[in-house]
Structure 1
Amino acid sequence: MKVKMFSYNQLDTYIHHLSGLTKFVCFLLLTTTVMLSFDIRVILFVLILSFALFKVAKIKFSQVKLMLIYVFIFLITNFILTFVFAPLQGVEIYGTEHVLFTIAGPYVVTLEQLFYQITKLLKYLSIVPLGIMFFLTTNPSEFASSLNKIKVNYKACTALSLTLRYFPDVQRDYHSISLAQQARGTELSNKEKLSKRFKNIISILTPLIFTTLDRIELITNAMELRGYGKSKTRTWYAYRPLNKNDYIAMGVCLAIFIASLLITTFVNHSIYFNPFI
């Protein structure tokens, strides 16, 4: 069976055995660590850790290939736009200017600008594996039950669980409708003009929307028939209590977060690491 993007798959790995709450807390701690720092050393550490955890979770490149391509395109576009609209931002941040070469007019390539943009590029890149890993290794029902155990309203938890479950369903429906349309002669490849391909994609999205609405109605009716929402609490069949490994994982991520704050406050005295001074 072909593995779909954003689809949870139960594997026998350390990451999969952690509680959904643990993975959510670790995700927040590590992403916050990266977002609050422009220290390339901290960012590289989280990036290496992210890809190491990718390997531990046995996530295959084929599962995330399309998503990584989109992310790469976004990062390269962001890299170019930053240089076009703020070619000297790195100089302003680090307070020095080491010119490598001049392109034209104000567009001067400096060592500071390259360092700043590479740091920002790695900053975004380090967060992506964490988010993908959370989606692919977390059971939606178990995650919802874990949140409910820390007093999050169970209705909100159920809505979140249904949302996470719905990603692979939408993807499967889109693939099925796309194959059906192509069997009828609808061309979606590069052989067709862009305007025509866009029109053909719209012909796929229309039945996809109606399929989605039908599924929503079906789920709503099923929940109403079971009396969902009438009680103040509910039970969960997929709840997983926290164990030693959960506390170790959260402790390590918390230590990384605190270490990052200490480096920012007492070593760099700024969110930026300045190697030019």
Structure 2
Amino acid sequence: MRDDGLDRAIDAAGGIAQLARKIGISQPSVSNWSRVPAQRVVAVEAATGVSRTDLRPDLYSEQAVAAEPLDPIDAARAQEYALLATLLSAPPSKRLLEQLAALTGDATPLGRAHADLARAASDTVAAKIEREYFDLFVGLGRGELLPYASYYLTGFLNERPLSRLRADLTALGIERVANSSEPEDNAAILCEVMAGLAGGSFEASPEAQRAFFEKHVSSWMGRLFADMESAENARFYRAVGALGRALLEIETEAFTFAN
């Protein structure tokens, strides 16, 4: 039996098939949900407009987070990772594009990346980005880019980096979405995991976060973002790549300093 939050998301999307398409996963996967999995909350919220507090009040309600206030820096980190997870998991909706176009920047590398993303969002429409996303990440047979750790680290899909990631996710208590065919080393899923770690949805010490970041994110994702910036089919996603690369550089420096 589905919970109220998931039912609202399905209704807002126009049905199970439409919700699955919007967040880039198979229809049977969504059909088997009884509630929105933690690692899909951000994508479903962006695709449907149903807030995360309604989708998973056990994770995002005031009562759920009141026990220990979140550090503002960690909240900002979680927000940046969640944005990347949303943009990598599916093309942005018209509503999200409008929100992105309203972003403001500053003189910092991340601020400049925000300003560039705002300009890119204001200069395009959702239909064009849907085609761009398809050409980049889906394609006829395969897209221009393969956003998987195994591919970037070994040249093949579903290799040792994926098995190591699964072991570490299990150790952190993060479960695979039931009946999902998408490998966990997809960049969107890893950004969603980092958002959960930074935001406190997944419990992990700063040392565990740093180890996960270095082993499963910074070891390859910077190259993916650089490839997005130079990809033949990229227009809007060049700005997404620049944002991702800027965030990883900041995270790498911060973890190194903390260590």
Scaled by the length of structure 1, the TM-score of the pair is 0.26
Kindly name which structure, 1 or 2, has the bigger radius of gyration based on alpha carbons.
1
Scaled by the length of structure 2, the TM-score of the pair is 0.28
